[in-house]
Amino acid sequence: MPLPTITIVGTVVNDPELRYTTSGRAALKLRVACRDRILDRTINEWKDGDQLFINVEVWADQAEHVAAIAVRGTQVIVAGKVRTREYETKAGEKRSETEVKDAIVGISLVFQTVSGIERDRPAGTPAQAPQAPAAQAPAQAPAAQGNPFTNAF
Protein backbone atom coordinates (compact mmCIF):
# COMPACT_ATOMS: atom_id res chain seq x y z
CA MET A 1 0.00 0.00 0.00
CA PRO A 2 1.41 3.44 -0.91
CA LEU A 3 2.31 5.85 1.86
CA PRO A 4 -0.23 8.65 2.45
CA THR A 5 0.68 12.20 1.48
CA ILE A 6 0.65 14.97 4.08
CA THR A 7 1.08 18.75 4.00
CA ILE A 8 2.34 20.53 7.11
CA VAL A 9 3.32 24.05 8.10
CA GLY A 10 5.96 24.31 10.78
CA THR A 11 9.21 25.79 11.97
CA VAL A 12 12.66 24.39 11.21
CA VAL A 13 14.17 23.50 14.60
CA ASN A 14 17.76 22.79 13.53
CA ASP A 15 19.97 23.93 10.69
CA PRO A 16 19.38 21.66 7.69
CA GLU A 17 21.97 18.91 7.19
CA LEU A 18 23.08 18.65 3.56
CA ARG A 19 25.02 15.59 2.46
CA TYR A 20 25.86 13.90 -0.81
CA THR A 21 25.57 10.26 -1.79
CA THR A 22 28.54 8.47 -3.30
CA SER A 23 27.01 9.10 -6.73
CA GLY A 24 26.89 12.87 -6.02
CA ARG A 25 23.13 13.20 -5.38
CA ALA A 26 22.24 15.79 -2.72
CA ALA A 27 20.27 14.66 0.34
CA LEU A 28 18.93 17.06 2.97
CA LYS A 29 17.55 16.28 6.40
CA LEU A 30 15.81 18.77 8.60
CA ARG A 31 13.46 18.65 11.57
CA VAL A 32 10.23 20.63 11.62
CA ALA A 33 8.05 21.44 14.64
CA CYS A 34 4.30 21.87 14.23
CA ARG A 35 2.28 23.33 17.09
CA ASP A 36 -1.38 24.03 17.70
CA ARG A 37 -2.37 27.45 18.93
CA ILE A 38 -5.45 27.36 21.15
CA LEU A 39 -7.59 30.32 22.19
CA ASP A 40 -8.25 30.26 25.93
CA ARG A 41 -11.63 31.97 25.99
CA THR A 42 -11.55 32.47 29.76
CA ILE A 43 -8.69 34.97 29.48
CA ASN A 44 -9.01 35.68 25.73
CA GLU A 45 -5.38 34.77 24.99
CA TRP A 46 -3.71 32.34 22.61
CA LYS A 47 -1.73 29.51 24.20
CA ASP A 48 0.57 26.86 22.81
CA GLY A 49 -1.06 23.49 22.34
CA ASP A 50 0.31 20.09 21.39
CA GLN A 51 3.56 19.95 19.48
CA LEU A 52 4.71 17.44 16.88
CA PHE A 53 8.27 17.07 15.58
CA ILE A 54 8.68 15.67 12.07
CA ASN A 55 11.88 14.62 10.29
CA VAL A 56 11.92 15.75 6.66
CA GLU A 57 13.96 14.27 3.83
CA VAL A 58 14.59 16.21 0.59
CA TRP A 59 16.60 15.03 -2.43
CA ALA A 60 18.44 16.29 -5.51
CA ASP A 61 18.48 19.95 -6.61
CA GLN A 62 15.71 20.89 -4.21
CA ALA A 63 17.88 19.71 -1.30
CA GLU A 64 20.55 22.23 -2.27
CA HIS A 65 17.97 25.02 -2.75
CA VAL A 66 16.38 24.43 0.65
CA ALA A 67 19.80 24.23 2.33
CA ALA A 68 20.71 27.62 0.85
CA ILE A 69 17.60 29.33 2.24
CA ALA A 70 16.22 27.52 5.29
CA VAL A 71 17.86 27.92 8.69
CA ARG A 72 16.72 27.27 12.23
CA GLY A 73 13.55 29.29 12.85
CA THR A 74 12.41 29.44 9.21
CA GLN A 75 8.72 28.69 8.76
CA VAL A 76 8.23 26.13 5.97
CA ILE A 77 5.48 24.31 4.14
CA VAL A 78 6.26 20.62 3.62
CA ALA A 79 4.40 18.10 1.46
CA GLY A 80 5.39 14.48 1.04
CA LYS A 81 4.86 10.86 1.96
CA VAL A 82 4.38 10.38 5.70
CA ARG A 83 5.45 7.35 7.69
CA THR A 84 6.14 6.46 11.29
CA ARG A 85 9.35 4.62 12.06
CA GLU A 86 9.69 2.63 15.26
CA TYR A 87 13.04 1.85 16.82
CA GLU A 88 14.66 0.85 20.09
CA THR A 89 17.31 2.90 21.89
CA LYS A 90 20.50 1.42 23.32
CA ALA A 91 18.84 1.55 26.74
CA GLY A 92 16.02 -0.66 25.42
CA GLU A 93 13.34 2.07 25.22
CA LYS A 94 10.90 1.79 22.33
CA ARG A 95 10.39 5.03 20.43
CA SER A 96 8.81 6.22 17.22
CA GLU A 97 9.46 9.08 14.81
CA THR A 98 7.26 10.64 12.18
CA GLU A 99 9.01 11.25 8.86
CA VAL A 100 8.11 12.92 5.60
CA LYS A 101 9.94 11.24 2.72
CA ASP A 102 10.50 12.61 -0.80
CA ALA A 103 9.35 16.00 0.48
CA ILE A 104 8.65 19.19 -1.38
CA VAL A 105 9.60 22.16 0.79
CA GLY A 106 8.59 25.79 0.37
CA ILE A 107 9.24 28.83 2.50
CA SER A 108 6.11 30.19 4.19
CA LEU A 109 5.78 33.94 3.79
CA VAL A 110 3.16 34.42 6.50
CA PHE A 111 5.58 35.79 9.12
CA GLN A 112 8.75 36.33 7.09
CA THR A 113 10.10 37.59 3.81
CA VAL A 114 12.64 35.93 1.55
CA SER A 115 15.42 37.99 0.03
CA GLY A 116 18.78 37.31 -1.52
CA ILE A 117 17.59 34.47 -3.71
CA GLU A 118 19.47 35.80 -6.71
CA ARG A 119 22.72 33.97 -5.88
CA ASP A 120 24.47 34.84 -9.15
CA ARG A 121 24.44 38.56 -8.34
CA PRO A 122 27.55 39.83 -6.51
CA ALA A 123 26.89 41.07 -2.97
CA GLY A 124 25.97 44.74 -2.82
CA THR A 125 24.83 44.89 -6.45
CA PRO A 126 21.25 46.13 -6.77
CA ALA A 127 18.76 43.85 -8.49
CA GLN A 128 17.95 44.81 -12.05
CA ALA A 129 14.38 45.05 -13.24
CA PRO A 130 13.62 42.26 -15.68
CA GLN A 131 13.97 43.29 -19.29
CA ALA A 132 10.88 42.96 -21.43
CA PRO A 133 11.45 40.47 -24.24
CA ALA A 134 11.47 41.82 -27.75
CA ALA A 135 8.06 41.62 -29.38
CA GLN A 136 7.88 38.72 -31.76
CA ALA A 137 5.04 37.39 -33.81
CA PRO A 138 4.11 33.83 -32.79
CA ALA A 139 5.05 31.14 -35.28
CA GLN A 140 1.43 29.96 -35.29
CA ALA A 141 -1.78 31.45 -34.09
CA PRO A 142 -2.52 30.26 -30.49
CA ALA A 143 -5.65 28.36 -31.57
CA ALA A 144 -3.62 26.54 -34.20
CA GLN A 145 -1.26 25.24 -31.49
CA GLY A 146 -4.09 23.20 -30.02
CA ASN A 147 -4.39 25.01 -26.66
CA PRO A 148 -8.14 25.35 -25.90
CA PHE A 149 -7.49 27.74 -22.99
CA THR A 150 -5.50 30.37 -24.88
CA ASN A 151 -8.40 32.76 -25.34
CA ALA A 152 -10.21 31.84 -22.12
CA PHE A 153 -9.48 35.15 -20.39
CATH of 5-114, one of 3.90.190.10, 3.40.50.1370, 2.40.50.140, 1.20.1250.20: 2.40.50.140
> What is the average per-residue pLDDT within 112-138?
51
pTM across the whole model: 0.64
Residues 6+ apart with CB under 8 A from 81: 2, 3, 4, 5, 6, 100, 101, 102
Extents of the domains making up the chain: 5-114
Quickly state the pLDDT bin for 140 (edges 50, 70, 90): very low
Model confidence pLDDT, tens digit, residues 66-123? 998 888 998 999 999 989 889 899 999 998 888 998 888 988 887 777 665 544 444 4
pLDDT number for residue 11: 92
Specify whether the CB–CB gap between 101 and 81 falls below 8 A.
Answer: yes
